[in-house]
Structure 1
Amino acid sequence: MNALESDAPLIVYVDIKSPYAFVAIQPTLELEKSLDMRFDWRPLTLDIPSYLGSARKSEGKVVESTRSASQWERIKYGYRDARRYVERQGHILKGTEKIWDSSIANIGILWAVQNDRDRLGAYLETVFPPFWRRELDVEDVTVVAAILEQAGIDSTGFAAFQQDEGRAQHDALQAQLHPAGIYGVPTYVFDGKILFGREHLPYVRWYLTGQKGPAPDIAYEIDAMEAQPC
């Protein structure tokens, strides 16, 4: 995979452990369906400690932390911001107790794309909500395999895939992202453009539907996105 190129009309980068990716899943899947297109969904596994420090909680209390006061404020604001929108979708968003290695669950995206693309949306909708309710150990390959099965995707061979071929694909893609100018999720890539954040979905819709009329303003609300003419 080339980080900026695809045969699909749109590349979508997401990470299971990102609250902003969680907020974006439903409206992005709805856009894909409404346009009758097939987007190229890919994992971007965030290295959160590299820019926000690390921390671990136990029974709601911080027991380990390398974060500064300003980093904690950024984290708290990010959760408050994302929670407002995800609750509108009928979901729950709880802050994580630690910084997860989400690579196995993200490799699940590659597995779904390559083995049962029609069920990819089901996988995303099955893995994100329980993770953010603190119900999933996404570092356990058997848990991720069970989620694939729950989404209707045969997981036979997934354990080996996430160690070998899938891991190699994942790691090779991650090495390309920062040099290509892709740093966070959700990121939308099309025709050489890189847009970070769900608020760009109105523009994505406008662009993918022929750029009729003036380009829409940036908007974060689902209703605003749906109001844009196709």
Structure 2
Amino acid sequence: MSRSVDLWIDLRSPYSFLAKDPAYALEKEFGVTLRLRPFTLDIQGTYNVRDPKVAERGLRRIKYLYADVRRFANQRGMIILGPKKIFDPTLIHLAWMYADAAGKGRALIDAAYPRFFKRELDYEDRAAVEALLAEIGVDVAGFDAFVKGPGPVAIGVHQAEADKQGIFAVPTFVVDGELFWGQDRIDFVRAKLAG
């Protein structure tokens, strides 16, 4: 049985997008099993404040984060545009879980991320999300039932497991119970796997 690495990501997170391909490379480099896991960041709670000074600092932080993420993206020829609003990730995370059950979870992630960060995919648009599922070869006939039934339960199971592992932000790698937060911590993950 191969060693496993959990990678907790939120499909709205530009840093998670940056972590994805280097994380995939870990499988080839170390023969590990990479388990991509959904984690929903509480972005609204973080930046929804009443004190104008605190809100302004939050806005400056967001602007800096996107400037920083673009530096990393530019090095790799990737386009990452900041979204025009804070999107609710529930529908796209449900689509991910649904696609994953059909063996197409990574295909959904690989198709969704670049479109979202080019502002070509609205994660809250049901028709667009279903079109994405169909495009990657997932039968959407059962998606509505999944969204209304087992889907939210599956998301809840992941969130509970994230809490159990101590996840607080994304992307977070977990190797043998040790957390490595941030796409720029991949060298620490490699060292842990090599050691």
TM-score between the two structures when normalised by the length of structure 1: 0.74
In the alignment, what sits opposite 1:107? 94
In the alignment, the residues of structure 2 paired with residue 156 and residue 186 of structure 1 have an alpha-carbon distance, to the nearest angstrom, of 31
Counterpart-to-counterpart distance in 1, 2:188 and 2:84: 35
Match of 1:94 in 2: 81
Q: How high is the sequence identity, in percent, across the aligned residues? A: 33
* 1:27 alignment counterpart: 22
Q: Which runs of 5+ in 2 are unaligned?
A: none
Please tell me the residue identity of whatever aligns with 1:88: Q
Q: Which residue number corresponds to residue 217 of structure 1?
A: none
Counterpart position of 1:18: 13
Contact 1:42 1:110 in 2 (8 A): no
Cα distance in 2 for partners of 1:104, 1:27 equals 26
Which structure's relative contact order is higher, taking Cα pairs within 8 Å and 6+ residues apart? 2
Q: What CA RMSD, in Å, does the superposition of the two structures yield over aligned residues?
A: 2.4
What secondary structure, in the 3-state scheme, does the structure 2 residue paired with 1:174 have? helix
Aligned residues: 192
| Cα distance in 1 between the residues matched to 2:27 and 2:139 | 23
> What is the DSSP-based 3-state SS (H/G/I as helix, E as strand, rest coil) of the residue aligned with 2:167?
coil
Given the alignment, which residue of 143, 149, 162 partners 2:147? 162
Letter in 2 for 1:78: L
1:72-96 CA-to-partner distances (Å, cap 9, x unmatched) read 1110111011111122332221111
Give the alignment of 1:1-230 within 5 angstroms.
9-53=4-48, 68-116=55-103, 119-178=104-163, 180-209=165-194, 211=195
TM-superposed CA distance for 1:125, in Å, is 1.4
- Contact 2:11 / 2:89 at 8 angstroms: preserved in 1? yes
Question: In 1, distance between residues paired with 2:3 and 2:54?
Answer: 39
How big is the shift at 1:133?
0.9
| Whole-angstrom distance in 2 between the partners of 1:36 and 1:111 | 26
C-alpha separation in 2, matches of 1:76 and 1:175: 31
Contact 1:22 1:86 in 2 (8 A): no
Name the structure 2 match of 1:58. none
Query: Matches of 1:113 and 1:74 in 2, distance apart?
Result: 34
Mapped partners of 2:54, 2:161: distance in 1: 27
| 1:98–1:189 Cα change, 3 Å | same
- For structure 1, which runs of at least 5 residues remain unmatched after alignment? 1-6, 55-64, 212-230
Q: 1:37 is aligned with what amino acid? A: V
Q: Are the structure 2 counterparts of residues 89 and 77 from structure 1 closer, same or farther at C-alpha, using a change threshold of 3 Å? A: same
